[in-house]
Amino acid sequence: MEREIKEFTTKSGVKIEFKSYLTGREMDEWRNLFLEYLNTDIKGKIESGKISGKILSEMEKKAISLAVYSVNEKREKVLDLVLDLPMEDYREIADESLETMEKTAEFFAGKKK
């Protein structure tokens, strides 16, 4: 089964294609970045913990690398392509990527919308 790809264009005209959803393996890859820093119950509910700013930065980059399918029709090294864009484009793409991660995380937590 091939994933649906959704298109997004930044305000300055950068064409981005996003994966419409992430796989369990991709979500696990993203989640593992921060789980070691938190105490959770068996269902994954956060009990306590602090997250360093570095981890938040790494989570954002991982979200981009997992959610973005292409940048201006280029599919290789999408994270590098996004990181080299002007900050305004980067921010729009990062926000869209994090939204994809949030939707996936809610689904995995049993909070389907």
pTM given for the model: 0.78
Instruction: Tell me which of 112 and 66 has the higher pLDDT.
Output: 66
Q: What is the pLDDT of residues 1-39, one digit of tens each?
A: 688 899 999 999 999 999 988 888 988 888 887 776 666
Maximum Cα interatomic distance, the chain, rounded to a whole number of Å: 44
| In the chain, % of residues over pLDDT 90 | 46
CB pairs under 8 A, 24+ apart, for 2-11? 5/69, 8/92, 8/93, 8/96, 10/85, 10/88, 10/89, 10/92, 10/93, 11/88, 11/89, 11/92
* Within a domain: 72: yes
Query: Is residue 102 a part of any domain in this protein?
Result: yes
Count the domains in the chain.
1
Residue 60 falls inside a structural domain: yes
| 113 occurs within a structural domain | no
- Measured CA to CA, the distance from residue 74 to residue 84 in angstroms comes to 14
Range(s) of the domain holding residue 72: 5-108
